[in-house]
Structure 1
Amino acid sequence: MTGTPVQAPTGAWTTGTLVEIDRTDRLVRLRLDVADRVDHLPGQHYVLRLRADDDYTASRSYSVASDPADSLLELMVECLPGGEVSGFLHDEAREGDVFEVRGPIGGWFTWTGDVPIVCVGGGTGVVPFVAMLRHARRIGAERLIRVCAVGRTRAELPYADELLAAGAFVALTRENLDGRVSAPPYLDELEPLVAGAERAYVCGSVGFASYATRLLGEVGVRADSIRVEQFGATA
């Protein structure tokens, strides 16, 4: 059963004030106080828009990492080479800055804790699954969600420590982790994660999404039960 999109909330353009910011070499975590905020569902995203003095604008969409009950909206942004928005957020953004934001957006990729699911995310594609894990922990539905997170290194994988603490299976492709040799997830590692799942979620780059969808099919997950959210042009 694929299910139908829930009646997800939708928010209009408003402003978000940057309350907290944390940076690493490649990532920046933003926590925003959103005016007239509409509570989101895990799996939804926001558009963040920058506006220059000459009224030139640039905007990008980012998945929400925070639980709906969090008083602040949390986004995790990867700084991409030449990224107009991500570069500014990583290098220039400061606490107190005010941004134009619109959200929450999207209904198909959401999860409310109603059915058992498996999630496969690559890189910043794990962000919506962090929101789902936080939501599951708050409502006592941890048994209904299993996560496979794939990254190059532990330092480059967003929320790596939180994912591991929550019981997610983490596969690193460029360094070993706790005795596991660096490699993408193997079929026998994914099989126990999909057992009993009624729905699967995949999030990552175009290349990763194609790979993960194929992998899920190889372990017996029906194509009509897989929901995919992808970004970027390449793997």
Structure 2
Amino acid sequence: MSIPAPAAAPPGTPPDSSEAPPRTPVAGGRAAWHTATVADTRPETPTARRIELDVPTWPGNDAGSHLDVRLTAPDGYQATRSYSIASSGGSTRVVLAVDELPDGEVSPFLVHDLQPGDRLELHGPLGAFFVWTPPETDADPRPVQLIAGGSGVVPLYAMAAAHAAAADATEFRLLYSVRTPDDVFFRDELTALASAAPALKLDLVYTRETPDGWPSAAGRVTKPVLDAAVLPAASRPRVYVCGPTPFVEAVAGWLIEAGHRPGDVRTERFGGS
């Protein structure tokens, strides 16, 4: 796979989807470089694309893991960016959902130019801190609160799907802040999961435009909105927060103010792409 040579990224450019977790291989899958073949792509939102990859050597990954995508230009220039994985388990089919950053090096190519049959270099699976595992490998019975901003829902969707696939009775909640109804990632899948799994509760907050008949006006997540929607600190939930850096920092601060223990709040932030 080759790409037109982009301008060199400035030193220290952070990865696409996360910066916080140390890059430790997930349980059951040692991180390595893999060659992936694009099996399918389709629009996810007006600015994002879902990408399904066949990776014969993929060892499987926990829900919430991420990977690196490396593209090489004809002149040898390489650009590597990190993306959350929307799938989990032992399958060799790996699903990404990439949102375009118009001035980015990698995401515009993945969103607009990538075609079935193309090949990509992947490094992973990565991440052991920001993951959820089913009951047979995780004895922690506490409820789980997921909080997403925009495309930060990708690893949290993987957790919700894995939770449903495991028929886990642990209480799960997802608070998802998104600009408009058209910008919801995995809209059909999340709706189906919330309808079929009584242990999963989905709360959507629209910041710019709401669906017709929506019971509340558009607006950002605030501390009162957060306090009303998330599991109380007294229930000691494990909390996973993913989204743009300002969103994650504000939400994490409000959670600590509300009494959640810092060690129970795990965060992942966006970077450049």
Please tell me whether residue 154 in structure 1 is matched to residue 181 in structure 2: yes
In structure 1, the partner of 2:15 is: none
8 Å CA contact 1:118–1:197 kept in 2: the answer is: no
Change (3 A) 1:196 1:118: same
The one-letter code matched in structure 2 to 1:14 is H
Change (3 A) 1:160 1:216: farther
- Which ranges in structure 2 are unaligned for 5 or more consecutive residues? 1-23, 195-200
In structure 1, the partner of 2:16 is: none
| Correspondence for 2:89 among 65, 68, 71 | 68
CA distance in 1, matches of 2:226, 2:121: 43
Write the deviation string for residues 117-146 of structure 1: whole angstroms up to 9, x where unpaired.
Answer: 111111111100111011111111154321
In structure 1, the partner of 2:171 is: 144
In structure 2, the partner of 1:187 is: 226
The one-letter code matched in structure 2 to 1:141 is D
In structure 2, the partner of 1:219 is: 258
| Correspondence for 2:32 among 6, 12, 24 | 12
Please tell me whether residue 203 in structure 1 is matched to residue 237 in structure 2: no
In structure 2, the partner of 1:84 is: 105
How far 1:164 moved relative to its partner? 3.5
Write the deviation string for residues 202-224 of structure 1: whole angstroms up to 9, x where unpaired.
Answer: 11111111011123224331122
How far 1:6 moved relative to its partner? 9.5
In structure 2, the partner of 1:169 is: 203
Structure 1 window deviating more from structure 2 (84-93 vs 135-144): it is 135-144
RMSD: 2.1
In structure 1, the partner of 2:116 is: 95
The one-letter code matched in structure 1 to 2:205 is A
Higher RCO (CA < 8 A, seq sep 6+): 2
8 Å CA contact 1:11–1:37 kept in 2: the answer is: no
- For the residue of structure 1 that corresponds to 2:263, the secondary structure is helix
* TM-score normalised by the chain length of structure 2: 0.77
How far 1:193 moved relative to its partner? 6.7
Change (3 A) 1:193 1:72: farther
- Which ranges in structure 1 are unaligned for 5 or more consecutive residues? none
The one-letter code matched in structure 2 to 1:172 is Y
Please tell me whether residue 33 in structure 1 is matched to residue 69 in structure 2: no
How far 1:180 moved relative to its partner? 2.4
- Equivalenced residue count is 229
Change (3 A) 1:187 1:54: closer
